[in-house]
Amino acid sequence: MIDRIAVHGASGSGKSTLARILAERLGLPRTELDGLFHQPGWTELATESFRAEVARVAGGDRWVIEGNYRQVRDLVWDRVELVVVLDLPRWTVMRQLVARTIRRGVLGTELWNGNVESLRNLLSTDADRNVVLWSWRTLDRYRAEVPDEARAGAPHARVVVLSSRSAVDRLVDELAAGA
């Protein structure tokens, strides 16, 4: 049985969905790094405080941690048993992300700590404000770097790159069968 899982991938790739499913099927607590990092008013948690929070979570015996924050990867990867990298086709990721962003904006869905996505941000050319632009620009980097970095940073862990929904489903079934 695998007790510690890290889920990585571009914004909109399905990290939160996969992490939630894994947590439910395996009975693991789930932590979304965005929820720790983005404080009320979209204020970013100071690096030292962020690292302390992640160290607390990663120090636990069982967890699913999702997110791509380079400043805390060492803390997660030191203890992880399975690193999952979502590498779905660009157009799948973009379709999912645009639909999610519009749905959240229209419904005013709270993300973390009272923060909501603004539909206005979809018009911004600033990738720090426009999550679709951010994902478009970072997707290739995640594809190229994260699997190799995970293999180097967590040589004790199994690293799995999933490039289709059927591969995601197979992994979930495999892990649930071993639970």
pLDDT in the model for residue 178: 85
**Inside any domain, residue 110:** no
Q: What region does 62 belong to: left with phi over 0, alpha with psi -120 to 50, or beta?
A: beta
Determine the Cα–Cα distance for residues 107 and 150; give it in Å rounded to an integer: 36
Average pLDDT per consecutive 10 residues, the chain (179 residues; last block may be shorter): 96 96 97 97 96 98 96 98 97 95 92 90 87 93 92 97 96 91
| Structural domain total, the chain | 1
**Inside any domain, residue 56:** yes
**Inside any domain, residue 132:** no
pLDDT in the model for residue 122: 86
**Inside any domain, residue 122:** no
For 103-149, give the DSSP string: HHHHHT-B-STT-B--GGGGG-S-TTT-HHHHHHHHHHHHHHHHHHH
Residue 170, domain CATH: 3.40.50.300
The residue range of the domain holding 26 is: 4-89+143-178
pLDDT in the model for residue 28: 98
Given strand 4-9, what is the order of strands in its sheet?
30-32, 63-66, 4-9, 82-86, 158-162
**Inside any domain, residue 95:** no
Determine the Cα–Cα distance for residues 11 and 97; give it in Å rounded to an integer: 7
Determine the Cα–Cα distance for residues 20 and 34; give it in Å rounded to an integer: 14
**Inside any domain, residue 33:** yes
**Inside any domain, residue 154:** yes
Determine the Cα–Cα distance for residues 22 and 10; give it in Å rounded to an integer: 18
pLDDT in the model for residue 179: 64
The structure's pTM equals 0.94
**Inside any domain, residue 119:** no
